[in-house]
Amino acid sequence: MTDKAEWEGRVGRTWAAEWQRTDRSFAALTRRMLTAAADAPFAGALDIGCGAGEVSLALAGANPGAQVIGVDVSDELLAAARERGAGLPNLAFELGDASRWTRGGFAPDLLVSRHGVMFFPDPVAAFAHLVRLAAADARLAFTCFRNPSENAWASGLTALLPSGLGAPPPPGQPGPFAFADKRRVEHILAAAGWRDAAFEAIDFPYVAGAGDDPVEDALSYFLAIGPAARAAAQMENGERAQFVERVRAFLQDHLDGGQVALQAAVWLVTARAPAG
């Protein structure tokens, strides 16, 4: 995982097919994030890397007087988002690279992202663009993963991979762990012109499997999305079968109370645009 070209193509397509399970996996985080994002009124919100749109939908639904725009590079994720948001006149989804996207006259006073800001090849330039786009004193609130070692869903699965296959890029490289290092993110935001950056560490259960057979549910999810899926796609049949058995046993070990839930650890990062 995962650069812009992959999100535009194969990875975006897979996520578009899996948005229900993705929203479920993030549910405990989403509640916390929305509380932080919507703790003050806003007139215009931009959801950066909105994916299938859950955060945009929640903001638009709860704030009918505000305009909400979700921007993403994946056509297929946006198709899912548009279908879900069809009943909300104050919500739009637009195809675009958030590091360059503009819409004349739209200067959001709230910029949010649930895990959509870690894929920019030049994050300082991207956040500098976003601060120029933002209204004076706009609020920024986004989530991103902390270190792989604190994220059992990643470290546990990566430990099962044959060496060299499928591991996500290390912290600092565009990918899910690009923003794991708080000091790096502070530097990026300050260099881009954002002020008052603050970090809240949130740990939550990443629900990967539920329903009649939570282990098989989690297994099929991880064989569709993330490091295990990427690695499995590169394996020969025999090696793949052994790997699937290892993942199944790992998930079985995390079955508790009718769910397979793995530890996830993120930053909730907030900052403000200059007062103007």
Ligand X SMILES: C[S@@+](CC[C@H](N)C(=O)[O-])C[C@H]1O[C@@H](n2cnc3c(N)ncnc32)[C@H](O)[C@@H]1O
Which residues of this chain interact with ligand X, rule CB under 6 A? 4, 7, 12, 22, 49-52, 54, 71-74, 77, 97-99, 114-116, 119-120
Neighbours of 147 (CB within 10 A): 14
Q: Specify the residue, 116 or 227, whose C-beta has the smaller distance to ligand X.
A: 116
Which is nearer to ligand X, 1 or 218 (by Cβ)? 1
Q: How far is the CB of 119 from ligand X (least distance, A)?
A: 4
44 and 135 Cβ atoms separated by less than 8 Å: yes
In this complex, which beta carbon is closest to ligand X, that of residue 21 or of residue 139? 21
User: Cβ closer to ligand X: 54 or 109?
Assistant: 54
For ligand X, the closer of residues 74 and 158 by Cβ is 74
CB of 120 to ligand X, least distance (A): 6
Give the shortest CB-126-to-ligand X separation in angstroms: 7
Q: How far is the CB of 68 from ligand X (least distance, A)?
A: 13
CB of 49: closest distance to ligand X in angstroms? 3
Neighbours of 96 (CB within 10 A): 14
Smaller CB distance to ligand X: residue 21 or 272? Answer: 21
Largest Cα–Cα distance in the chain?
Answer: 61
Smallest distance from the beta carbon of 113 to ligand X, in angstroms?
A: 6
CA atoms lying within 13 Å on the CB side of residue 49: 25
